[in-house]
Amino acid sequence: MNEKYMVFGYVRVSTDNQLENYSIEEQIDRLTAYCKSKDWELIKIYTDGGFSGGNTNRPALRQMLDDIKNVAIDAVIVYKLDRLSRSQKDTLMLIEDELLSNNVDFISINENFDTSTPFGRAMIGILSVFAQLEKDQITERFTMGRIGRGKAGFFHGGGNSPYGYDYVNGELLVNEFEALQIKEVYDLFIAGKSMNAITKIMRGKYENRNWTATAVRNALKNSIYIGKVQFKGMEYDGRHIPIIAPERFKEVQRLLYSQERETRKNTSQKAPFRGGYLLSSLIYCSRCGARYSANHGYYKCYSRSKSSRKFVTNPNCKNDNWNIQELDTLVVDAIRELMENKEMILQLTTCTKPDKEYLIDTKKINARMESINKQLSKIIDLYQVGTLPMEILTSKVELLVQEKNILLERLNREEDKTESISNFIDTLSTFETRFNIFDLDAKRMLVATLIERIEIEGSNVKIKWRL
């Protein structure tokens, strides 16, 4: 009964020591004094110097968690809760999954509680919420300057400048020889060349760079070449000179972002859905769900043709075969009919969701999110002065965070929907003017940009447009 209370201590400072109000030495002194006053035995102190509390990838922390499983101790003690973690999720995981599950309590001197008491266990979840809010506020302040640079048009990649540019004194300057190659990649892609074909051509002509399919794809997707810079998911007008015209870049994106192009990527020529036919990879069987393949003049359900066993979903499927030329003509005619039917286009772009959700007021959503941020800041102030009960503060925080997440989701859906509609209409225009002059590869990409899938049900054909 006279056995001493055995504890581990844990101390941490981040990489930015100027932001810390307490050094490693001061934390150790406080832990030592506290244990001495309680007559506890402080077996060992684990120290992480220069590690962020935003994640658990810290050597001393990981070592302590391993030792807990092998050494019989009663508790882990820290000077302050955020020394363990600044992440709400990580805090709860460490205490509940790593400590309490091994019958080890957690004690924080500064907050004056421990998990050996019911009140202390309840306080863990509450305080971790505010540790997360504090971390988010610090991160927000830290990034404001970089966001300002982004808005001013400065590139954030430092010495890792994109191919086609040199990074000199904080500015992107066009490298004429490299820019020539970027332009050629765009020309080849618009001409209908595949990623692998472009890669082979570029390797054969230019020895200064090891061109790969990934490098080609990245070049085609990078808006830096039309004079844009990106930071934290936002795009701004850059200060540098563009290499590619915006109209040309937009045309490439319409061809690039299609299901066929995504499935093809770096696959070899023998890939099952990379046939030399207009509708390859787009046709599905409505009866068994398998894809259709093209062979011997017909599009055939894989389950019925059994040409590749791994793509068979129902060996008893008897869905109809379709003459390749007939189905190609039917689909092309359907696209042309859509181009001429403005009313049908309007229906497709405005009635795909009930109650016209796409018409949400983004200004109101942004205003409400700003209001939520202000309310969260006020709640932190109320917590610090202790004017409201903890359970009320927690309830308010949870409701506000939940509402903010819902608003962000709606805002993202609205942006995606608007861009999708714009791309679809632009692609229809491209189809009207260029389909007949494109080669087969370019035609296939153009069709796949408009059509998500074609479903065969006997003699019936259903087209699902990419909206």
- Residue numbers annotated as active site: 14
Q: Beta strands 165-168 and 171-174: pairing type?
A: antiparallel
Query: Please, how many CA atoms are within 13 Å of residue 117, restricted to the half-sphere of its CB?
Result: 8
In the three-class reduction of DSSP (H, G, I as helix; E, B as strand; rest coil), residue 283 is classed as strand
What string of H, E and C letters represents the secondary structure of 327-344? HHHHHHHHHHHHHHCHHH
Which residues have C-beta within 8 Å of that of residue 144, sequence separation ≥ 6?
none
The conformation of residue 291, written as its DSSP 8-state character, comes to: B
Report how far residue 85's alpha carbon sits from residue 92's, in angstroms, rounded to the nearest whole number: 9
CA atoms within 13 A on the CB side of 111: 27
Q: What's the distance, CA 290 to chain centroid?
A: 30
CA distances from 272 to 277, 442, 450 (A): 12, 19, 22
- Beta strands 41-49 and 105-108: pairing type? unpaired
Contact 159, 167 (CB under 8 A): yes
Number of other residues whose CB lies within 10 A of the CB of residue 442: 19
Helix, coil or strand: residue 210: coil
Whole-angstrom CA distances from 199 to 96, 202, 250, 270, 276 are 52, 5, 21, 18, 20
Angle, CA of 266, 269 and 271, to the nearest 5°? 80
